[in-house]
Structure 1
Amino acid sequence: MSHDDTYRRLISLLDDTATPYRLIDHVPEGTTETVSALRGHPVSQAAKCLVLRVKLDRRTTRHVLVVVPGDRRVDLDAVRGLFAARYVGVSDAATAERLARAVPGTVLPFSFDPDLELVADPEVVTQPQLYFNAARLDRSLAIAGPDYERLAQPRVEKIAGPPASAG
């Protein structure tokens, strides 16, 4: 599946389920803080998406797409605890792109790959409006948090750490 296919699959999912959404075109940007300013919303309403490598033991590795509010960090210790893992870290770019079917900066808060488990923080699914790049650097999407939860069906767990600006 190409990145353009990922975009089309997302739009088809939204249209086929009659889910309200809004597309926002902007200059190409993948940094959460910068693109939030371009879209005109608080960074806390952005969906920050990271693909993590979760090593359960010496032989077993899983990949997890985590989604936290844009102004928060991912609490890797919380993710490690959820999976009783030995190690949790950010996946390499090639693996993340293959599993998320999108380039870094455009990863959707949806998983279209059975090998990529989806975990979202409760603060994401309760947002009145949730914003994210729509598998493209030049187009974003706004959707209600509860609609996102209904469609994406993430495992909802407390995985957000302190705000990204906190020391």
Structure 2
Amino acid sequence: MSGPDTYEHLISLLDDSSVDYRLIDHQPEGTTDKVCALRGHPASEAAKCIVLRVKVDRRTTRHVLAVVPGDRRVDLGAVRALFDARYVGFSDAETAERLARAVPGTVLPFSFDPELEVVADPDVVAQPKLYFNAARLDRSLVLSGADYARLALPRVEPIASPAAV
């Protein structure tokens, strides 16, 4: 499942769950700052989604979808501590696309693959309005952080670097 299938899967999940959400069409864009400007909201209200490779030990590798506010970065040290891992780094593009079922810039804060565990920063689920690209570069979605948490069932842990001052 990739591209349009991931989008359809997301919309079906939202519709079946009867959550309030809104779709926003815009120029194709996958960079957080630029798409936030197109959608007209601060980057702190966006969900930035990064696929990470977590080497727990020499034989065990896990994949984690880290979801942080759009104005923050993933704190790799916090993720490493969370999993008591030897190493944490960004996943290669091919693995990230396969697990996220989306191309870079369109990765959802949801996982539709059992090999990809979602970990969201508490500031993501606390957002009254949470914006993210909807598995497409030209369409975004907004829903409440509480509804996101209820549907995505992320592990909620502090994994974002401090906000820039």
Deviation at 1:2, TM superposition (A): 2.3
Partner secondary structure for residue 38 of structure 2? helix
Q: 1-side partners of 2:162 and 2:73: how far apart?
A: 6
Superposition TM-score, scaled by structure 2 size: 0.98
Between the aligned partners of 1:38 and 1:2, the Cα distance in structure 2 is 24
Q: How many residues align?
A: 165
Structure 2: distance between partners of 1:159 and 1:102: 22
- Unaligned 5+ segments in structure 2 are none
Corresponding residue for 1:69?
A: 69
TM-score normalised to the size of structure 1?
Answer: 0.97
Structure 1 unaligned blocks of 5 or more? none
Distance in 2 of aligned mates of 1:118 and 1:144: 17
Between the aligned residues of both structures, percent identity stands at 77
| Cα deviation code 1:105-139 (max 9, x no counterpart) | 00000000000000000000010000000000000
User: What is the CA distance between 1:162 and its match in structure 2?
Assistant: 2.2
Matches of 2:17 and 2:84, distance apart in 1: 35
The one-letter amino acid paired with 2:17 is T
The alignment partner of 2:161 has SS state of: strand
> 2:64, 2:98 → 1: CA distance?
13
Q: Which residue of 2 aligns with 1:122?
A: 122
Could you say which residue in structure 2 is the equivalent of 1:91? 91
Give the aligned partner of residue 103 of structure 1. 103
Amino acid corresponding to residue 54 of structure 2 in structure 1? V
Deviating above 3 A after TM superposition, structure 1's stretches of 4 or more consecutive aligned residues are: none
How far off is 1:102 after superposition? 0.3
* Matching of residue 134 in structure 1 with residue 130 in structure 2: no
Q: Distance in 2 between matches of 1:14 and 1:114?
A: 19
Within 5 Å, which residues of 2 pair with 1:3-82? Answer: 3-82=3-82
Shift of 1:3: 1.3
What's the RMSD between the two structures over aligned residues? 0.8
